[in-house]
Amino acid sequence: MSENIFITEETLEGDEDGPLAGTTVAVKDNISTDGVRTTCGSKMLEDYVPPYDATVVSRLKDAGATIVGKTNMDEFGMGTTTETSFFGSTDNPAAPGHVPGGSSGGSAAAVAAGEADLALGSDTGGSIRCPAAFCGVVGIKPTYGLVSRYGLVAYGNSLEQIGPFGSSVEDAASLLDVIAGPDGRDATTREPPRADGAADSSYAAAADGDVDGLTIGVPTELLEGADEGVVETFWDAIDDLEDQGATYEEVSLPSVEHAVEAYYVIAMSEASSNLARFDGVRYGHAAGEKGENDNWNEAFSKARQEGFGDEVKRRILLGTYALSAGYHDKYYKKAQDARAWVKQDFDEALSNADVLASPTMPVPPFELGESLEDPLTMYLADANTVPVNLANLPAISVPAGETDGLPVGIQLVGPAFGEREIIRAGSALE
């Protein structure tokens, strides 16, 4: 069994009947659970207990699911390995001695280790798809606005979505059926379109493996620089889809050259704003003894110095700098312009293809401790996943095979609210 999967192990029973009755679900520890500690993997929120359920948690309970615990994660969702957690790293049950990916590494590991049937994670720049690929499970990042973010502790509001993990595409899709849909407490949510002419419009029903006539676009830029074994495994998966009646063509997304830089400017800027609330007074770790710090500025500084880890501090500093007077137009505005370019490129590519395919991650899982001293390497590992968040599109990571005994995932990207297309294509690979 993989170690350190859960930060808090506490069982929450759902209704006695429902589509998920008898199903166990693990929940990432940045999703609010009424009466159960929600830490975001941080010392800052080590003792925080929310007084309400996130919308997705309420829907889980209504569907009859049994929540078995809150899973480990990179601190405030900032990381690709689950090693920035204040509570320590999580080992990868599919590749012992290696990271499970991040930031939702605990959720993917819970499914891979059989500790839960299903799990919820959140995806700001690949935080569902990366651990799904590294742990050899299925992870779905929904279209922005398909799933309510109410009760998700914010990191990058314009980028993040809650999504499911499962051991199969159908299992993950069945969880998406439960959590998807509009929510009056999240104004960004929308009613998803129904499947045209389908007797059963559920996402789970789309996992029928029928890819005959499917057109797959392969962005050449997302293969450049990838590990040779990963690329070979990816093409084997494309060959498998071709054997089942799909066709593929190479496409170009020239804007992705700037996607990682644009993503981190936007994400760090939003993080700088969102994490300002953790001051040790309204929320979070309070430094020193009561009455010890009479100066508010000193107390605020000390609380954040003690409460946040190095990676969170790094991103707050860079985000604050990007938003500061004199630099906003130079960095943040240019990043938003690049984001619009990325969205335009994806829309153009998807006008000629049903789905786009790439390796989920350009490399196999890192060894534990390998990337901690080199944050830039960790950021660049997100090259294939962050463009999808910039474009607010749906994507799924499905196991494609192994290289040198390590799991490799294939990422399938669809048009906005095209979850059924990527679920159908993904199920053909099982």
Q: Which residues are catalytic?
A: 28, 103, 127
Contact 101, 58 (CB under 8 A): no
Sequence-ordered alpha helix ranges (H) in 44-148: 55-62, 105-112, 129-135
Rg (CA), the chain: 20
Sequence-ordered alpha helix ranges (H) in 283-352: 296-307, 310-323, 334-350
60/22 Cα distance (integer angstroms): 12
Tokens of 267: 């994400």
Omega before 427 within 30 of 0, i.e. cis = no
Provide the b/e sequence for 154-163 (b: ≥16 CB within 10 Å): bbbeebbbbb
**Nearest to 267, CA basis, from 38, 130, 77:** 77
Tokens of 120: 């919820």
Residue 275 main-chain phi, psi, to 5 deg: -85, 0
Pairing type for strands 215-219 and 355-359 reads parallel
Q: How far does Cα 156 stand from its chain's mean position? A: 12
